[in-house]
Structure 1
Amino acid sequence: MDGKRTIDPSCRDRPPVAIDIISQLDIFGIILYSVLTFMAVVSMVVYIEECWYIYRKVPSHKKSAIIWVNGAAPVIATMSCLGMWIPRATMFTDMTSACYFAIVVFKFLVLMIEEVGGDEAFLRRAGKNKLRISTGPCCCCCPCLPHVNITRRSLFLLKLGSFQFAVLKIVFTILSIILWTNDNFDIADMAITGAAIWINPGVGVLTIIALWPVAIMFMHLRITLRSLKIIPKYAMYQLVLVLSQLQSAIINILAMNGTIACTPPYSSQARGYMMSQQLLILEMFIITLVTRLLYRRQYDPLPDDENDDEHTKIVLSADKSDIA
């Protein structure tokens, strides 16, 4: 024996087309794909029903933010389902999900402010307090950073920090598609001359910058909005972020390194994408149901804060204990 191994040609091919997947499904594959497709459809149906409820029951100034935030999991599940059935469209479905979530990051910040009553109500309530900026994902290791006064300018900068991601993510996505049509962009091409090695780190930096204002606002309002279940809502938002971005990135890196084995008709990379899509459908289905329970409530105005001084002491004491 010469020790050489024969590599199946399909392990080097492009991902299969949809008709090839359908024709090669066995009984287990048919059941798996049917169940996952059913989950994605149910997620979208639940979301549409929730949008109808929000449209009828929620005050107008909160509708947009709540609808956008609620749509994160169903949209990702739907895009993942399309990517599962049409593997060659995975790049576009992932980009669509990422662009949508970039908007959700900004909308979640807006949602927290609107739950307080809007910009004016937030400034009136929080004018006596200060923002703690030594929080993740940028400055959690810098507890010595000074607290920042809450003013219109600081509120504008917080919004701008998240809004830039919603805009620039779409810009970079359009640029990536344009470069892809000219064979200059390939997700798997990590060469220094490739476009992906420059665009992806840039998007990563923008993501961190955008998440920082949301974390700052959450740390400030987590006590005020505790009765509105802001902590589990924030947890669901963070979970969608981790699963749709970090989990997918880890699986894709393993696939590109060949850690995930090739299984014809899927190459190693295509199989990694398929596994990522299938996991996301299941995870986003569960998150959709949990999110519906969190947001399905009577949207009464937040009571006036009669104990501003006491609330200030609670926030400051919590900050001091965190620093200690």
Structure 2
Amino acid sequence: MDVTNQTFDPRCRQQPPLAIDIILNLDLFGIILYSILTFMAAVAVLVFIEECVYIYRKVPANKKSIIIWVNGAAPIIATMSCLGMWIPRATMFTDMTSATYFAVVVFKFLILMIEECGGDEAFLKQSAKKTFRISTGPCCCCCPCLPRVPVTRRSLFLLKLGSFQFALMKMVFTILSIVLWTNGNFELTDLNITGAAIWINPFVGVLTIIALWPVAIMFMHVRITLRTLKIIPKYAMYQLVLVLSQLQSAIINILAMNGTVACAPPYSSQARGYLMSQQLLILEMFIITLVTRLLYRRQYDPLPLAEDDDEKEKMVLPSETIENTA
């Protein structure tokens, strides 16, 4: 076929191959690559299960489910990427599952930072005379003139609500997208004004930015207080999962839809872009799973110390009042 007509090769416009077709067409390099990536995804899940057992035994009850949710981000994404790699026609569903899970993780990470401070009441008590700096990313990092907001029960509730809406609405839009897809109204590659994807995806993007803002505000507020609990590297891993699972995948998929990623039958250009994204995510999430295991498996519970501090305060305050009255 002439070079100028390569983009019209019918093999580059066909649906993604079935799982059995992938297995039958794998060469030696493909067998090794798929085996290694599948092994990485399986190890990530096993590490996560072992971490869950440790958390269940060693971590206080108020933090168990939160830490398990946060730790599960990388293994879940690696597992969904592995399924999408073996079953290319299920890519839309595996990506939606990963995105929905991470939407919950965004809210859980905000709650984790509050719980590390001792919970809502302890946080409000410690920050009674402090303020939130809202001129932070991803919304207002370029607006240093914004006023600081006092730390109150109402402002804390608004921060929680800002992240919770994403966890809720992402699930709603995922279900809506699947329902529309079954009716033939939702297609990721359909960028026409009459398509559902062109309306749903930007709106979800706005909700994502709104949800990330409260987490950034809270992190800027507690990063010094929770420095001994490794909150900075934990936040870095959370941000890295966000960038790799959302931004990296979006860039590769956009390049594939524009034809920048060449087709390689039986994979079309778009299907090959999804394949590359999933293979990269398996490797990246495997590494992140190992790093997060080191961060969360340590003894970092501040609750006994907080109780000791409270007891010391109760012992010190009466003596101080006696001296003042004298």
TM-score by length of 1: 0.92
Contact 1:57–1:299, Cα closer than 8 Å, also in 2: no
Q: What is the match of residue 156 of structure 1? A: 157
Given residue 20 of structure 1, which amino acid in structure 2 is its aligned partner?
Answer: D
Q: CA deviation at 1:82?
A: 0.0
Q: How far, CA to CA, are the matches of 1:2 and 1:134 in structure 2? A: 56
Q: How far, CA to CA, are the matches of 2:77 and 2:201 in structure 1? A: 19
Contact 2:40–2:282, Cα closer than 8 Å, also in 1: yes
Given residue 159 of structure 1, which amino acid in structure 2 is its aligned partner?
Answer: K
Deviations 1:83-115 (A, max 9, x none): 000000000000000000000000000000000
Q: What is the match of residue 24 of structure 2? A: 23
1:259-270 aligned at under 5 Å gives the runs 259-270=260-271
Please list every run of 5 or more consecutive structure 1 residues that lacks an aligned counterpart in the other structure.
307-324
Given residue 127 of structure 1, which amino acid in structure 2 is its aligned partner?
Answer: A
Q: What is the match of residue 245 of structure 2? A: 244
Q: How far, CA to CA, are the matches of 2:300 and 2:233 in structure 1? A: 17
Q: CA deviation at 1:298?
A: 1.4
Q: What is the match of residue 34 of structure 2? A: 33
1:111-190 aligned at under 5 Å gives the runs 111-190=112-191
Give RMSD over aligned pairs.
Answer: 1.4
1:1-324 aligned at under 5 Å gives the runs 5=5, 7-301=8-302, 303-304=305-306
Contact 1:179–1:185, Cα closer than 8 Å, also in 2: yes
Contact 2:191–2:198, Cα closer than 8 Å, also in 1: yes
Q: How far, CA to CA, are the matches of 2:282 and 2:62 in structure 1? A: 31
Contact 2:16–2:89, Cα closer than 8 Å, also in 1: yes
Given residue 220 of structure 2, which amino acid in structure 1 is its aligned partner?
Answer: M
* CA separation of 1:2 and 1:162: change in aligned 2, threshold 3 A: closer
Q: How far, CA to CA, are the matches of 2:159 and 2:289 in structure 1? A: 28
Q: CA deviation at 1:128?
A: 1.2
Given residue 120 of structure 2, which amino acid in structure 1 is its aligned partner?
Answer: D
Contact 1:165–1:210, Cα closer than 8 Å, also in 2: yes
* CA separation of 1:265 and 1:144: change in aligned 2, threshold 3 A: same
Q: How far, CA to CA, are the matches of 2:222 and 2:39 in structure 1? A: 37
Q: CA deviation at 1:9?
A: 2.2
* CA separation of 1:4 and 1:282: change in aligned 2, threshold 3 A: closer
Q: CA deviation at 1:8?
A: 3.3
* CA separation of 1:2 and 1:82: change in aligned 2, threshold 3 A: closer
* CA separation of 1:121 and 1:3: change in aligned 2, threshold 3 A: closer
Q: What is the match of residue 316 of structure 2? A: none
SS in 2 for 1:31: helix
Q: How far, CA to CA, are the matches of 2:128 and 2:229 in structure 1? A: 21
Q: CA deviation at 1:2?
A: 8.0
* CA separation of 1:168 and 1:3: change in aligned 2, threshold 3 A: closer
Q: CA deviation at 1:299?
A: 3.7
Q: CA deviation at 1:300?
A: 2.8
Q: CA deviation at 1:4?
A: 5.4
Contact 1:59–1:299, Cα closer than 8 Å, also in 2: no
Contact 1:8–1:264, Cα closer than 8 Å, also in 2: no
TM-score by length of 2: 0.92
Q: How far, CA to CA, are the matches of 1:167 and 1:3 in structure 2? A: 49
Contact 1:40–1:81, Cα closer than 8 Å, also in 2: yes
Identity percentage over the alignment?
A: 82
Deviations 1:112-131 (A, max 9, x none): 00001000000011111000
Please list every run of 5 or more consecutive structure 2 residues that lacks an aligned counterpart in the other structure.
311-326
Given residue 5 of structure 1, which amino acid in structure 2 is its aligned partner?
Answer: N
Deviations 1:264-289 (A, max 9, x none): 00000000000000000000000000
Contact 2:229–2:300, Cα closer than 8 Å, also in 1: no
Q: CA deviation at 1:207?
A: 0.1
Given residue 136 of structure 1, which amino acid in structure 2 is its aligned partner?
Answer: G
Q: CA deviation at 1:253?
A: 0.1
Q: How far, CA to CA, are the matches of 2:77 and 2:3 in structure 1? A: 45
Q: How far, CA to CA, are the matches of 1:239 and 1:179 in structure 2? A: 31
